[in-house]
Amino acid sequence: MNVETSFDFKHKFIEDFTLFDSKRVNNSSEFVRNLRANGIEQFKALTAPNRKQEEWKYTKVTEIINKEFFTYASRLEQDKIDLSPFLIEGLEAHLIVFINGRFSERNSSDLSALKGVQVGNLENVLQNNSTSVEKVLGKVADTEEKFFAALNTAYFEDGLVIQVADGAIVDKPIFCLCLSDASQGNLMVNTRNLLVVGKNAQVKVINANYSLEDSAFVLNNQVSEVVIAADAIVDTYKLQMETDKSYHFDYTQIHQQQSSKFSCNTITLGGKIVRNDLNYLLQGEHTESFLNGLYLTEGQQLVDNHSLVDHAVPNCMSDEFYKGIMAGNSKAVFNGKIMVRPDAQKTNAFQSNKNILVSDNATINTKPQLEIFADDVRCTHGATTGQLNDEAMFYMQARGISKEKARKILLQSFAGEVTERLELEVMRDYLNQVIEERINQL
């Protein structure tokens, strides 16, 4: 039965593709048309995710592929939107706004004259200076076995493009706000983001996702391709804050060159079904890679964090630290794969996933996956799942702190172990506050 419905979803996008592509034939380069064609071929060859597939064992997407989504966002409003609910107090940043996956110039800062960095939208870059991104677009992400990512390759139109020049230290974080508006019906947004950082350069990037309007469902389908040159230091944040009328897929592929440092901090507080695939390929020695994650789920939410750190060369360090608090009937999945290839001697790889279930009906499936083919490596991993610590609760109560308050304090401090790892102080403060409010409601 599922096969039939998934066929519909697939069938529709295969059918629609010819029209979609032909409408854009005049303003698409050969390069982009080939890429799209390749994407739809990959998509055709794939079966929709189902629980027989190891990678989707715990994450059911039936409710998504049973729905019909439109891919076009009629070029909605270019009005100024009140962005204040989505901004971070105290954060000074270069702001770039996308609404339903399309760049909204009016709502963005003036990005025309930034020093050492070009920040823009993919549609524009492809039209004016396509060659600058052709080495990256479609070359970093491997969508061959990824149903939603392949669909993204076939249907992407716009996205965030950041190119940092060699040696440039970008003065302020780049804050990309992705807003969705489903007022015209179920909508699929295929965003394609590129982050290319030159040698010795430094930048911080925030990608924040919110629902503006959620009378219908949004399928927010993002693919990001990231190339970090030697000695660069890059700190990125993903804030996934949509409502429970939103499905969010994020596939991010990172290529890291020698002695670079890259952090990705994934904070998931919203979304009905969220699936992240965060993949690092370490191509140069002496890199440092950080993967921090925090998910707070409730109701019927499902948050699935898949990650892969591919130690392809020696002498690299990776550190993955994910924590979750699950309430209601929510579910979370953690699957962290560390691959240490035969050449990758002296690898240091750490991984930790800790979870607290605050309801009897919440579940977590956590699975560390170490594939180690070198002998001189140091890998540690650990996963824990538990309820709130009774001993700690009693200790606090014995000091006069009410049970309710003790519970909140424990949950906050549990989550705080992730936020304290964030380098951006304003982000830390902001998230601690948001988390506190969230926990108070649990």
Q: How far is the CB of 176 from other proteins (least distance, A)?
A: 30
Q: How far is the CB of 307 from other proteins (least distance, A)?
A: 24
**CA dist., res. 93 & res. 350, Å (int):** 32
User: Based on CB atoms, which residue is closest to other proteins, 221 or 419?
Assistant: 419
User: Based on CB atoms, which residue is closest to other proteins, 113 or 398?
Assistant: 398
**CA dist., res. 48 & res. 27, Å (int):** 31
Q: How far is the CB of 83 from other proteins (least distance, A)?
A: 32
**CA dist., res. 400 & res. 420, Å (int):** 27
Give CA separation, 59 vs 53, 55, 337, in Å.
10, 9, 17
User: Based on CB atoms, which residue is closest to other proteins, 120 or 416?
Assistant: 416
User: Based on CB atoms, which residue is closest to other proteins, 165 or 409?
Assistant: 409
Q: How far is the CB of 415 from other proteins (least distance, A)?
A: 8
Beta bridge partners of residue 372, listed in sequence order: 340
**CA dist., res. 181 & res. 24, Å (int):** 23
Q: How far is the CB of 439 from other proteins (least distance, A)?
A: 13
DSSP strands (E only) in 312-418: 317-326, 331-340, 348-357, 363-372, 378-386
Residues in touch with other proteins (CB under 8 A): 389-392, 394-403, 405, 409-410, 412-414, 416-417, 420
What does 101-112 look like in DSSP terms, one character per residue? Answer: TEE-GGGS---T
User: Based on CB atoms, which residue is closest to other proteins, 110 or 404?
Assistant: 404
Residue 190 and residue 102 in contact, taking contact as beta carbons nearer than 8 Å: no
**CA dist., res. 6 & res. 47, Å (int):** 8
**CA dist., res. 168 & res. 431, Å (int):** 28
Q: How far is the CB of 89 from other proteins (least distance, A)?
A: 22
User: Based on CB atoms, which residue is closest to other proteins, 89 or 391?
Assistant: 391
